[in-house]
């Protein structure tokens, strides 16, 4: 494969290394010899693709499709290289800076594994208690936030206690992260039983708003209920996003089986009434059990 290097010289790339990908991206972004679509992209314009690729990685993992996972990880890596290339063109940072940043962060946040120079600690100096490791991780992150605020003179938009949780996260995942950060300050229910009581309280408030017919209040109370459920998942040690994904897949699987059962009885799904669908649904659940 031939690509151009930074001087415009054609280079034969024999190995499929990260350097191959970086040179390929530089070729695609070349304003004269590159791809017209790639050339006009901006950091903001490819954000939707980055998010989509991350979801496709998760989907391949969920399906256990290793070939697809390999391809989707490549697509996600391309997004990192694409952003890095545009940053390099703007003179802000390079892909090497991205790598240096994450390497430094991993070493810094794992003092129980590495010394300050990045060398692995002897086994007798390791901290193996997961709770101690988590506490150290959170403490180091807090120090990093304080340092970032100091460098920016207080202009860091993430300087508020909960401000560094990205807005672009899926709502359920962000709710879980926000509640976890609040819990880090001690603002949390003491046990799971109290969270369940809060979920019931929020469900009752949804019911009240439905009786009143206030659409704005209904939406607000359902939001409170969903946030409380995300808190319950956190207390139970469950990933709320993954739990909902699996729950949705279970519903999808059972719905398809229900339709097949009705078809076997000579009834089309579209013409079946609710009692018939419910009977078939319960039969599917019994079969699964």
- The full set of domain ranges for the chain reads 109-159, 171-238, 243-288
What are the structure tokens assigned to 78, written together?
Answer: 């391309």
Residue 132 contacts residue 200 (beta carbons within 8 Å): no
Q: What is the CATH number of domain 171-238?
A: 1.10.287.1080
Query: What is the predicted pLDDT for the residue at 117?
Result: 86
Mean pLDDT by 10 residues, the chain (289 residues): 53 70 95 95 94 92 94 97 98 97 91 87 84 82 78 60 81 92 90 96 97 95 96 94 91 96 94 95 94
Q: How far apart are CA 197 and CA 208, in angstroms?
A: 17
C-alpha to C-alpha distance for 267 and 272, rounded to whole angstroms: 6
SS3 224: helix
pTM of the model: 0.65
End-to-end CA distance of the chain: 55
Neighbours of 4 (CB within 10 A): 17
Q: What are phi and psi of 4, to 5 degrees?
A: -95, 145
* CA atoms of 164 and 185, how far apart (whole Å): 15
Which distant-in-sequence residues (6+ apart) come within 8 Å of 169 by Cβ?
A: 177
Phi and psi of 10, rounded to 5°?
-70, 130
Closest CA to 231 of 186, 198, 255: 198
Which tokens in the block code for residue 10? 């054609």
* Per-residue model confidence (pLDDT) at position 158: 52
Q: Which two tokens stand for residue 51?
A: 């998010």
Residue 23, pLDDT score:
94
The pLDDT of residue 134: 81
Within 13 Å and on the Cβ side, how many CA atoms surround 74?
Answer: 11
């Amino acid at each position: 494969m031939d690509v151009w290097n930074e001087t415009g010289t054609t280079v034969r790339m024999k190995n499929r290394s990260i350097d191959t990908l970086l040179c390929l991206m530089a070729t695609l972004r070349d304003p004269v010899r590159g791809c017209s679509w790639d050339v006009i992209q901006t950091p903001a314009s490819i954000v939707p693709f980055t998010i989509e690729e991350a979801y496709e990685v998760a989907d391949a993992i969920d399906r256990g499709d290793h070939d697809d996972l390999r391809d989707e990880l490549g697509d996600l890596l391309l997004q990192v290289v694409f952003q890095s290339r545009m940053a390099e063109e703007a003179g802000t940072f390079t892909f090497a800076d991205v790598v240096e940043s994450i390497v430094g962060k991993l070493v810094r946040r794992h003092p129980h594994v590495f010394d300050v120079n990045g060398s692995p600690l002897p086994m007798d100096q390791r901290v193996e208690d997961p709770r101690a490791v988590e506490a150290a991780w959170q403490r180091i992150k807090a120090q990093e936030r304080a340092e970032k605020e100091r460098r920016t003179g207080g202009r860091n938009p993430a300087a508020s206690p909960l401000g560094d949780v990205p807005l672009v996260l899926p709502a359920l995942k962000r709710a879980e992260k926000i509640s976890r950060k609040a819990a880090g300050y001690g603002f949390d229910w003491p046990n799971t039983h109290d969270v369940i009581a809060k979920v019931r309280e929020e469900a009752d408030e949804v019911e009240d708003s439905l009786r009143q017919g206030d659409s704005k209040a209904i939406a607000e109370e359902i939001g409170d209920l969903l946030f409380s459920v995300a808190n319950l998942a956190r207390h139970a040690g469950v990933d709320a996003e993954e739990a909902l994904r699996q729950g949705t897949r279970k519903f999808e699987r059972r719905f398809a089986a229900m339709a097949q059962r009705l078809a076997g009885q000579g009834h089309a799904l579209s013409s079946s009434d609710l009692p018939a669908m419910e009977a078939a649904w319960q039969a599917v659940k019994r079969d699964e059990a």
